[in-house]
Structure 1
Amino acid sequence: MTLDNHSSRPAHLAGLDLLASAVILLDGDGRISYANAAAENLLESSLKALSRQKLTALFLNPEELAGICAQALEHKFSDLRQDLSLERLGREPLRVHSIVSALDAPRDGVLIELRENVQQLKLDREERILDQSQVNKELIRNLAHEIKNPLGGIRGAAQLLELELPALHLSELREYTQVIIKEADRLQTLVDRLLAPHRRPHIVGDVNIHEVCERVRSLILAEFPSGLTISRDYDASIPEFRGDKEQLIQTVLNIAHNAAQALAERIEAGDAELIFKTRVARQVTLAKVRYGLALDLHIIDNGPGIAPQICDRIFYPLVSGREGGSGLGLTLAQTFVQQHLGVIECESRPGYTDFRIVLPLP
C-alpha cells in the first residue's frame, strides 16, 4: 500500500479527505484500518489514534452498529442506511445517518459513511429552547406576581412616611423617601413588562410581513437619522398570513433596535448597516410539525457581534449585552414568535449578526 509522505495516508484513498462526510474502513475483525479527515473531526481523534481500534469500542451503545457491521461482513446486504444515536463518555451523543457497505476485496471489510443528522440536531435544539422558554415564562409570571404585591406596599409606606415627616426635616428627609418611591416605580415598570405578553390578548388578522418591516424601518430611521443605512432584500412573492401584526412589529422592532444600539460606533463612523431580508423556506419542521411553506426573515447587522459568554443565553430574561439594558427585548420577541408557532435563532460573529425568524405560511 503506497503512502502519501505528507499525510501518512494511503495515497489511493487521498480523495476521500475531500469529502464532507466521515468515511471509515474496517477490517474483517471490525478494527479501523482507515478514517478520512471528516471522520477524524467527527470522532475527535486522529487516524493514528483510531487505527487498529475496534469502532464499537468508541461508543457506550455499540450493539446496533456492531450488528449492522456483522451483517455486512456476512454479505447479507449490499448497503444499509440507518439513523443512529451513538453515545460517548462525557460528550454529546453523535446523531448520524449511517451507510454501511460490504467490500468485495480479498481482505473483506466494511465501509461506513457517517453524516451528522443536522435535522435531528435542529429538532432537539428547538425542543430544548421551547422547553426552556416554557419554564422561563412560568418562572417570570410567578416571580412577577410575587414581587408586585410587596412592591405596592413599599411604595405606599414610603408615601405615608413622607406625609408624617416633621416640616422642619421634610426637605432633608424627603430625598430618601423619593428614592424609595422612584425605585419602587422602576421595579413596577419592570414587572409590568415581564407580565405584558401574558396580559395582552392575541389579536389575529391578515399580516403582510413587508408592511411590518417597513413600519420598523421608519421607526428606527426616525431615531437614528444619520450614519445608519437600512437595506431591504424582500421576496415579493411571500403571501399574507394570519397573525398578530402588533406583536410582530414589536418583535422585529426589539431586534432591530438592539442592533442599532450595538452599532453606535459604526453609526458615528457613518458605515452602520441593517438588512431586512425575507425569503420563502420549503418543507420546514417547526416544533415537530412539518410545514410546506414558511417565512424566513433575517435581520442582519454589521456590528461587533454578541459576546460569546452570553450568546447561548440571549433569549433568557434579564440577560443583556448592553450597559443599562433590561434584558427583556429578546425574551419578548421569542415569546411572540412562539405564539405564532415559529422559531427565532441567532448567528453572531464580529462584523455580522443575523437574527432569523421562521414562521409557518398558509
Structure 2
Amino acid sequence: MVEQASYKQILDSLTTAVIVLDYQLKVSYLNASAESLMGISSEHLVGKSIEVCFGVKDGTPKSLQEALEENRHFTRRQVCWKLHNQQEVTLDYTVTPTPEIGYITVEIQPLDRLLRISREEAWISSQETSRNLVRSMAHEIKNPLGGIRGAAQLLSRELGDSQLEEYTRIIIDETDRLRNLVDRMLGPRTPPDMESLNIHEVLEHVVSVVRMEVQGNVEIKRDYDPSIPNIEGDKTQLVQAFLNIVRNAIQALTENQEQQDPNVIITTRIKLRYTIGRINYPLVVKVSITDNGPGISKDIVGDIFFPMITGRAEGSGLGLSIAQNLIGRHYGLIECNSETGHTEFAVYIPLGKRHA
C-alpha cells in the first residue's frame, strides 16, 4: 500500500500544478508546481482562502463552490488569473469535486509556460543555426585574410619607400582588426572548465569591475538569495557573460543624457521545476539584471542575442551574443524583457544533475 508521504512525493513530481481545497475553499494542499506557479510556499497558503492566491474578477471562487455543492466537474480554457504578487498568468484549469469528503482538486496548466517553452525551443534552434553560419563564414573570411596579411608583409620588405610602407602597414593593421572581430564572433574555442562555485562570487567580481568603470555615475544595487547552493560552472566564462550584460545595461544608462537616478539591480533567486529548451530541471538559479534606462527598441528586442544586432550607435553587437553563447555552454539561457524605464535580462542556469 502506498503511504500518504509517497502520494505527496508523486504529486510534487508532477509538472501540472495541483491545489486541493476544503469545503470552505481554503487551501489544504498544493504541490511543488503549484508553489512555483503561485510564487509562494505552501506554508504561507495552507489554511487560507483561495482568494489569497489570485484575483476574483473571473468568478473562479464562486464556480468552485458551485462545483462542490453540485458535484460537478468542469474545465476552463485560457483564463487570466492575477496572482497575489499582481503577476498575471494565462492558464487552463480543471476542477474535480469530491463532496463525500468535502474537497475540491484543481489541476492547473499554465499556458504562458507552454508558450514560453515553445518560443525558447524555436529560439534555441535559430541560435544554433546562426552560430553554425557564423562559424562557416568566419573560416571562409579568415583564410583570405591570412593570405592578404602575408602578402602585405612580403611587399613591405621589398619596398624602399617609407610612404608606400605606410600603406602596407594599414593593410596589415586592418586585416588584424578583421581577424580579431571574427575571433570575437566565434567566441571561446575551449570547453568550459567546470568547477563548483558560488554564483555570488562571480557576481561580486563583476560588480567590483563595473563600479570602478562607472565611478559612481550609476548605482549598482544587489538583492541576493544567500541560500542558493553552488553551481557547476566555469568562473572565467561566467564572469565574462555577466560582465557583458551589466556593461550593456550601464552603457544604455550613460548614453541617455536625460536619465534620472540611473541604477542597475542584480537579483538572484531559485526557480523550481523550470524548463529550458526541452529539458525540465528540478532547480534553476535565476539571475536578473535590471536597469531603469530607456529600454530596447521593439524592432530589435527579439534579435539582440544574434551577432551584429545592436541598438547603440557605438555598439559592436557582439557582447550579448557572446554572453548567450557562454551561458548556453552551461546549459542555461538568457531572456530579455524591455519597456521604457525597465529592462530585465534574466539568466537561467540549472543546478544539480542535468538530465534529459
TM-score range, shorter chain: 0.5 to 0.7
1:189 partnered with 2:228: no
Instruction: List runs of 5+ in structure 2 lacking aligned partners.
Output: 1-55, 61-71, 79-89, 96-107
Q: How does 1:1-362 map to 2 (within 5 A)?
A: 18-19=57-58, 78-79=73-74, 97=92, 117-167=111-161, 170-171=162-163, 173-197=164-188, 199-265=189-255, 271-362=261-352
SS at match of 2:187: helix
Are the structure 2 counterparts of residues 267 and 118 from structure 1 closer, same or farther at C-alpha, using a change threshold of 3 Å? same
Runs of 4+ in 1 over 4 A off after TM superposition: 80-83, 265-270
1:170-209 per-residue CA deviation (whole Å, 9 max, x = no partner) reads 32x3343232222101101011112332x12310001211
What amino acid is the match of 1:185? D
Contact 1:254/1:329 (CA < 8 Å) preserved in 2? Answer: yes
Contact 2:187/2:325 (CA < 8 Å) preserved in 1? Answer: no
1:87-145 per-residue CA deviation (whole Å, 9 max, x = no partner) reads xxxxxxxx974769xxxxxxxxxxxxx99721110110110111011111111111111
SS at match of 1:136: helix
1:271-304 per-residue CA deviation (whole Å, 9 max, x = no partner) reads 2211110011112112222222110110011111
Partner of 2:15: none
Shift in Å at residue 19 of structure 1? 2.8
More off after superposition, 324-333 vs 262-271: 262-271
CA distance in 2, matches of 1:117, 1:333: 29
Q: Pick the structure with greater CA Rg.
A: 1
What amino acid is the match of 1:129? W
Contact 1:277/1:297 (CA < 8 Å) preserved in 2? Answer: yes
CA distance in 1, matches of 2:325, 2:265: 23
SS at match of 1:238: coil
CA distance in 2, matches of 1:118, 1:292: 19
What amino acid is the match of 1:141? R
CA distance in 2, matches of 1:344, 1:265: 23
Partner of 2:10: none
What amino acid is the match of 1:264? T
CA distance in 2, matches of 1:307, 1:178: 40
CA distance in 2, matches of 1:302, 1:320: 18
CA distance in 2, matches of 1:157, 1:20: 77
Are the structure 2 counterparts of residues 293 and 178 from structure 1 closer, same or farther at C-alpha, using a change threshold of 3 Å? same
Contact 2:296/2:311 (CA < 8 Å) preserved in 1? Answer: yes
CA distance in 1, matches of 2:127, 2:144: 27
Are the structure 2 counterparts of residues 20 and 209 from structure 1 closer, same or farther at C-alpha, using a change threshold of 3 Å? farther
After TM superposition, the score normalised by the length of structure 1 is 0.67
CA distance in 2, matches of 1:272, 1:96: 36
CA distance in 1, matches of 2:116, 2:128: 18
Are the structure 2 counterparts of residues 81 and 205 from structure 1 closer, same or farther at C-alpha, using a change threshold of 3 Å? same
Are the structure 2 counterparts of residues 269 and 302 from structure 1 closer, same or farther at C-alpha, using a change threshold of 3 Å? closer
Contact 1:206/1:241 (CA < 8 Å) preserved in 2? Answer: yes
What amino acid is the match of 1:125? R
Shift in Å at residue 81 of structure 1? 6.7
SS at match of 1:263: helix
* CA RMSD across the alignment: 2.9
Are the structure 2 counterparts of residues 210 and 116 from structure 1 closer, same or farther at C-alpha, using a change threshold of 3 Å? closer
CA distance in 2, matches of 1:312, 1:115: 26
Identity score, percent: 45
After TM superposition, the score normalised by the length of structure 2 is 0.68
Contact 2:75/2:92 (CA < 8 Å) preserved in 1? Answer: no
Contact 1:141/1:195 (CA < 8 Å) preserved in 2? Answer: yes
CA distance in 2, matches of 1:20, 1:348: 32
What amino acid is the match of 2:237? Q
SS at match of 1:135: helix
CA distance in 2, matches of 1:274, 1:118: 27
Contact 2:231/2:351 (CA < 8 Å) preserved in 1? Answer: yes
Are the structure 2 counterparts of residues 18 and 189 from structure 1 closer, same or farther at C-alpha, using a change threshold of 3 Å? same
* Number of positions where the alignment pairs a residue of Structure 1 with one of Structure 2: 265
Contact 1:280/1:296 (CA < 8 Å) preserved in 2? Answer: yes
Are the structure 2 counterparts of residues 346 and 159 from structure 1 closer, same or farther at C-alpha, using a change threshold of 3 Å? same
